[in-house]
Amino acid sequence: MFMNFRRIRKCQCVQLVTTCFVLSVVMVCWEQLDNSVVSHVKSYSYRYLVNSYNFLNKSFVITRQSADGLGGYRYLINHKDKCAGRDMLLLLFVKTSPENVERRQSIRSTWGNETYVSRELGADVRVVFVLGVHRDCQRRESTQEALLEEDRQYSDLVQQDFADTFHNLTVKLLLQFQWAHTYCRHARFLMSADDDVFVHMPNLVGYLQEVDRRGAQGFWVGRVHRGAPPIRRKDSKYYVPYEMYRWSSYPDYTAGAGYVVSGDVASKIYRASLTINSTLYIDDVFMGICANAMGVSPQEHPFFSGEGKAPYHPCIYDKMMTSHGHVSDIHDLWREATSLEVQNISRGLLRRLYCTAVRVALLCKPYYVDTYSCKSAFL
């Protein structure tokens, strides 16, 4: 009995080694043909065979002095008292750019309306727009005046003196965690969202209140990327050179479009960011590296979206947390997604069955670009 068992184990071991060998040969030979399929296979094998990113700590940790040089730009607009108030549920950062004034206006009058959230949902949520200075030096002065004027009216901008570009997104991430640490340590949750993301505030607040009741420690939720490969095509926006990140997959991280962490995780990320090399400009991956160094891992929520836009339907609104890529439709979406019809849609067995059927029809199409996965249709 015992012998047998050992023999089986040995057999499996040989099998595993052979598989690994064949896989590695395939990988090496296909290096030239490093298209997306191969890099995904590689990164997935990496993620699920190695399944540990301990080495990241060593190669990304730098001294505090060197880290100081990378973030910590001077504040041009700030609101140190924005977070005053005892019982704060959520500090919500919206990553915006100087010229996106219309997006900010739409957010203020829809899901980012603090008065609405406090009156209708009974929760204390603060929305802060974070940005740098206009990327174009020539337009910097005039946009800056407009920004100051906008801020006089709404008092919700926080701006630092760095050029607001895609490759400075990690600087913006450092700004968020630094600001939260300095002025808003008591918020129970921190969220970071793009300015073209729609947040279903009633659903989100309800969900976070429930998580909070259970005691949220080590909480980090969003659309999780597991075993995502660095993009090596030079023409891609997300291109990352080998010198910046030499392994074949990133540690687990949540899509930067919208994710939430609990207060304790926010402070861990902040502490990690003080000694981690932040030249890696993909901000959500950088956040993943910080979290990895602190032993925090993300959890998937089926109704947080990454890149995609959710289908328009009350049965989707009923569950939706975030959806990406909404600009011109944000007012209509807000009105429809928070209507009374939606609040009633899943009451009763028949209606629940109807909604499940609708969600299957909407989310489980073979050619559907993934916002929410097919399996979330059944939740």
Ligand X SMILES: *[C@@H]1O[C@H](CO)[C@@H](O)[C@H](O)[C@H]1NC(C)=O
62 binds ligand X, rule: CB under 6 A: yes
Binding track, positions 252-271, relative to ligand X; x by CB under 6 A: --------------------
Return the DSSP state at 239: B
Q: Please identify which residue in 144, 178, 277, 376 interacts with ligand X, judged by CB under 6 A.
A: 277
51 binds ligand X, rule: CB under 6 A: no
Distances (CA, A) of 280 to 34, 164, 226, 258, 283: 22, 16, 18, 19, 7
> Considering the complex, what minimum distance in angstroms separates the CB of residue 283 from ligand X?
12
Tokens (6 digits) for 140: 């910097």
Q: Please identify which residue in 52, 142, 155, 182 interacts with ligand X, judged by CB under 6 A.
A: 52
Q: How far apart are CA 33 and CA 54, in angstroms?
A: 29
Tokens (6 digits) for 228: 């995502």
Q: Please identify which residue in 97, 170, 249, 292 interacts with ligand X, judged by CB under 6 A.
A: 292
Return the DSSP state at 71: S
> Considering the complex, what minimum distance in angstroms separates the CB of residue 341 from ligand X?
5
Helix (H, G, I), strand (E, B) or coil at 24: helix
Instruction: Please say whether the beta carbons of 300 and 224 come within 8 A.
Output: yes
Closer of 164 and 372 to ligand X (Cβ) = 164
340 binds ligand X, rule: CB under 6 A: yes
243 binds ligand X, rule: CB under 6 A: yes
> Considering the complex, what minimum distance in angstroms separates the CB of residue 249 from ligand X?
13
Q: How far apart are CA 254 and CA 237, in angstroms?
A: 18
> Considering the complex, what minimum distance in angstroms separates the CB of residue 116 from ligand X?
4
Residue 129: its H or E element: strand 125-133
17 binds ligand X, rule: CB under 6 A: no
Instruction: Please say whether the beta carbons of 221 and 254 come within 8 A.
Output: yes
66 binds ligand X, rule: CB under 6 A: yes
Tokens (6 digits) for 241: 């050179």
346 binds ligand X, rule: CB under 6 A: no
User: Which residue, among 127, 281, 306, has the nearest Cα to 222 in the 3D structure?
Assistant: 306
Closer of 110 and 323 to ligand X (Cβ) = 110
Q: How far apart are CA 173 and CA 187, in angstroms?
A: 17
Residue 6: its H or E element: helix 2-29
344 binds ligand X, rule: CB under 6 A: yes
Q: How far apart are CA 26 and CA 44, in angstroms?
A: 14
Closer of 35 and 63 to ligand X (Cβ) = 63
> Considering the complex, what minimum distance in angstroms separates the CB of residue 180 from ligand X?
21
18 binds ligand X, rule: CB under 6 A: no
Q: How far apart are CA 200 and CA 7, in angstroms?
A: 56
**Total residues in contact with ligand X, by rule CB under 6 A:** 28
Ranges within 131-170 binding ligand X (CB under 6 A): 162-163, 165, 167-168
Closer of 100 and 168 to ligand X (Cβ) = 168
Tokens (6 digits) for 68: 């100081």
Closer of 54 and 236 to ligand X (Cβ) = 54
Closer of 212 and 329 to ligand X (Cβ) = 329
DSSP 326-351: -STTHHHHHHHHTSHHHHHTT-SHHH
Residues 323-347 as b/e (b if ≥16 CB within 10 A, e otherwise) read bbbbeeebeebbeebbeeebeebbe
Candidates 30-38, 91-99, 215-223, 340-348: pick the segment binding ligand X (CB under 6 A): 340-348
Closer of 85 and 348 to ligand X (Cβ) = 348
Residue numbers at the binding site for ligand X (CB under 6 A): 52-54, 57, 62, 66, 108-109, 113, 115-116, 119, 162-163, 165, 167-168, 171, 243-244, 277, 279, 292-293, 295, 340-341, 344
